[in-house]
């Protein structure tokens, strides 16, 4: 979980050094630039403005991630056991979970980090792998982004931090629930987790 947190958080923090420029890479850079502007904006320094800052940051994140594809790949063969309505609800709840989990860790923790883009491998005309590394306190962390072109926009469908796939990480967690539980049970568990995150946020504010 900590690795996937780092993977998503570098889209919002750090200084950029571009070793190779191309369309998928530019999409990453654009999202990061927008996130940095929001994080450093003095208008959001007061505690009363943090919620607005979160929403602005989320607008940036959801543009670069293909949450439907992430949800489908995370569930893998279990996807076919979900009704269309359950698929949509799972995708929405999963995206909300990612939003709350990662923004809680990112917000207010801006650090001077550096992201170096190493290469871009075009797997097909519509799929690419962008390899990067995050420089943090004299440590280099390799982070690779699997991206796909859909509706003329490059979006992320998986992230690997030090070789660990975000999709596979969540798939393992969800498979344990679905082994003896139904799609409705998994969705309910996501709702429970979201409620806990909401309560934790309210406690921090109070």
pLDDT in tens, 95-123: 999 888 777 766 655 566 778 888 899 99
Q: Return the half-sphere exposure (C-beta side, CA atoms, 13 A cut-off) of residue 162.
A: 11
Choices 3.40.50.620, 3.80.10.10, 3.10.450.710, 3.40.640.10: CATH for 2-201: 3.10.450.710
Closest-CA residue to 128 (of 198, 27, 30): 27
110 is written with which tokens?
A: 């801006």
For the beta carbon of residue 191, count every other beta carbon within 10 angstroms: 14
Token pair 């075009």: residue:
122
pLDDT band at 8 (very low <50, low <70, confident <90, very high): low
Q: How far is CA 92 from CA 86, 129, 183, 187, in A?
A: 10, 25, 14, 10
In the predicted structure, residue 19 carries a pLDDT above the cut 90:
no
CA distances from 2 to 143, 162, 181, 190 (A): 13, 12, 26, 19
pLDDT of residue 79: 98
Q: What is the pLDDT of residue 22?
A: 47
For the stretch 186-189, contacts whose Cβ atoms lie closer than 8 Å and that sit 24 or more positions apart, written own/partner, are 186/90, 187/86, 187/89, 187/90, 187/93
Helices (H), 41-165: 50-64, 67-75, 84-106
pLDDT recorded at residue 4: 57
- Cα atoms in the 13 Å half-sphere on the side-chain side of 101: 17
Buried b (16+ CB within 10 A) or exposed e, 63-91: ebbbbbbbbbbbbeebeeebeeebbebbb
Q: Which residue has the higher pLDDT, 198 or 93?
A: 93
The first and second tokens of residue 97, run together, are: 């979970």
Domain range summary for the chain, segments of one domain joined by +: 2-201
pLDDT tens digit sequence for 46-84: 878 888 988 888 888 788 999 999 999 999 999 999 999
Q: How confident is the model at residue 34 (pLDDT cuts 50, 70, 90)?
A: confident
């Amino acid at each position: 979980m900590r690795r996937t947190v780092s993977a998503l958080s570098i889209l919002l923090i750090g200084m950029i050094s571009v070793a190779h420029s191309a369309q998928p890479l530019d999409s990453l850079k654009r999202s990061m630039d927008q996130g940095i502007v929001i994080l450093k904006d003095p208008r959001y320094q007061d505690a009363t403005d943090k919620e607005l800052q979160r929403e602005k940051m989320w607008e940036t994140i959801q543009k670069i991630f293909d949450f439907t594809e992430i949800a489908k790949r995370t569930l893998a063969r279990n996807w076919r056991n979900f009704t269309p309505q359950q698929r949509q609800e799972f995708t929405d709840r999963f995206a909300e979970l990612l939003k709350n989990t990662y923004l809680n860790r990112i917000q207010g923790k801006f650090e001077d980090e550096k992201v170096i883009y190493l290469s871009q491998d075009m797997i097909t005309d519509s799929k690419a792998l962008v390899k990067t590394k995050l420089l943090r306190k004299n440590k280099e962390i390799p982070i690779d982004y699997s991206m796909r072109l859909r509706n003329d926009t490059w979006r992320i469908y998986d992230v690997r931090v030090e070789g660990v796939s975000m999709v596979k990480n969540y798939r393992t967690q969800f498979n344990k629930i679905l082994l003896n539980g139904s799609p409705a049970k998994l969705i309910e568990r996501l709702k429970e987790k979201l409620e806990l995150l909401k309560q934790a946020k309210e406690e921090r504010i109070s």
